[in-house]
Amino acid sequence: MLKFSELKRIPLSETWNHEAHEFTPWLVENVQTLGNALGMDIEIVDREASVGDFSLDLLARDLGSSKTVVIENQFNRTDHDHLGKLLTYAAGFDASIVVWISEEVRDEHRQAMEWLNQRTDTETQFFAIVAEVLQIDDSNPALNFKLVVSPNEWQKSKKQETSTNLSPKQKKYKYYFQGLIDELRENHKFTGAKVGLPQNWYYFPSGFGGINYGAWFTQGSKVRALVSISRKNRMKLFEALEERKVEITSNFGSSLEWERNAEKQETFIFVHRDADIESIDSELEEIREWHIKNLLKLKEVFQPEIEKVLKTLNPGEKETS
């Protein structure tokens, strides 16, 4: 006879004593766990961001689209108070992605979120997520994010293609990046993103706030695989890495470009090659493989370098994305 273990659900309040002081900070440090449930890469922008007399739990952005994300979480069941606040935050920050996390989603609130997804434009997405702490017998607990409400991606993407009349080039970008993020997610655990977009770039999280990896098509028929640094002390970080340029280049195995962009308030370290989105499919497949190879190599080389420099610049600071 098979002997089964007991699967228990533990209230969030027994794992974290306080929603704002304990659960929200944990969520900041483990935001990609939430991102994986949503199918996107999320970077935290601010905590307790103000809208009038109210304070949003987390203000974030989706790295793949640069869209604003508002995240509101609560212990226990969803309620009207939090629904009202969520819509206030969405309007106040002009958010495109709205996320409501709770222990239980009441039927009337599930219906309200589904209605919002059906009636809003293609740029606005509403998600309701159940956060549950699970334990098997006396094992360590595990947090599971269960998606209860999400936009119908097929319907939204169809509406988007019809309403915006994607050009042939935009459709090629969408197809290219869909294949790129699918392989990076499924084979390399590099990203949590699931939906390719009709644009010529994509960013992926490094795990350090304001520092990301990117895949670009640029003017002049070039593509880049890059490290982007946009944090407040970006120049100090960039210069500290540049001091180790010889060692970093040797570890990477080929020449790297180092670029300061004052207009975008970003610095970039990248490798590039000739390429064009209008290339034939076999050439685009080769370009995609080039992107994947170099993104993986950039992360392998720069992750430990960035971590060492940040510990010097910000001793004791906890880095999160």
What does the pLDDT average to over 102-131? 93
Which pLDDT does position 321 carry in this prediction?
41
Q: What percentage of the chain carries pLDDT values higher than 90?
A: 70
Which pLDDT does position 320 carry in this prediction?
46
Q: Are residues 201 and 101 in the same domain?
A: no
Q: Are residues 289 and 178 in the same domain?
A: yes
CATH number, domain at 102?
3.40.1350.10
Q: Are residues 217 and 306 in the same domain?
A: yes
- Domain assignment present for residue 318? The answer is no
Residue 159 has pLDDT above 60, yes or no: no
Most confident of 42-56, 115-129, 293-307: 293-307
Most confident of 56-70, 148-162, 226-240: 56-70
Which pLDDT does position 241 carry in this prediction?
94
For the question of whether the overall pTM of this predicted structure is more than 0.85, the answer is no
Q: Are residues 80 and 198 in the same domain?
A: no
What does the alpha-carbon distance between residue 117 and residue 124 come to, in Å, rounded to a whole number?
Answer: 7
What does the pLDDT average to over 172-191? 95
- Domain assignment present for residue 1? The answer is no
What does the alpha-carbon distance between residue 191 and residue 241 come to, in Å, rounded to a whole number?
Answer: 24
What does the alpha-carbon distance between residue 126 and residue 305 come to, in Å, rounded to a whole number?
Answer: 38
Phi, psi for 74 (deg, rounded to 5):
-150, 150
Q: Are residues 304 and 182 in the same domain?
A: yes
What does the pLDDT average to over 47-54? 89
Q: pLDDT band at 215, cuts 50/70/90?
A: very high
Q: pLDDT band at 156, cuts 50/70/90?
A: low
- Domain assignment present for residue 2? The answer is no
What does the pLDDT average to over 173-191? 95
Tell me the angle at which helices 245-252 and 281-313 cross, rounded to the nearest 10 degrees.
Answer: 140
What does the pLDDT average to over 253-261? 91
What does the pLDDT average to over 307-314? 85
Number of independent structural domains in the chain: 2
- Domain assignment present for residue 72? The answer is yes
Residue 281 has pLDDT above 80, yes or no: yes
Q: What percentage of the chain carries pLDDT values higher than 70?
A: 93
* Inter-residue contact 195 to 180 (CB < 8 Å): no
Domain assignment of residue 64, given as a range = 7-158
Choose the final residue of a domain: 133, 158, 183.
Answer: 158
The predicted-structure confidence for 31-43, as pLDDT tens digits, reads as follows 989 999 999 999 9
What does the pLDDT average to over 106-121? 93
Q: Are residues 153 and 26 in the same domain?
A: yes
Phi, psi for 75 (deg, rounded to 5):
-75, 160
Choose the final residue of a domain: 158, 180, 213.
Answer: 158
211 contact partners, CB below 8 Å, separation of at least 6 = 227, 228, 229, 230, 231, 237, 306, 321
What does the pLDDT average to over 206-224? 92
- Domain assignment present for residue 39? The answer is yes
Choose the final residue of a domain: 158, 187, 210.
Answer: 158
CATH number, domain at 214?
3.30.1460
What does the alpha-carbon distance between residue 203 and residue 222 come to, in Å, rounded to a whole number?
Answer: 17
What does the alpha-carbon distance between residue 28 and residue 30 come to, in Å, rounded to a whole number?
Answer: 6
Give, in order, the Cα–Cα distances in Å from 10 to each of 58, 75, 273. Answer: 24, 12, 52
- Domain assignment present for residue 321? The answer is no
- Domain assignment present for residue 55? The answer is yes
Q: Are residues 289 and 171 in the same domain?
A: yes
With left for phi above 0 and alpha for psi between -120 and 50, is residue 68 left, alpha or beta? beta
Which pLDDT does position 163 carry in this prediction?
47
Residue 316 has pLDDT above 90, yes or no: no
Which pLDDT does position 153 carry in this prediction?
63
3-state SS record for 197-259: CCCCEEEEEEEECCEEEEEEEECCCEEEEEEEECCCCHHHHHHHHHCCHHHHHHHHCCCCEEE
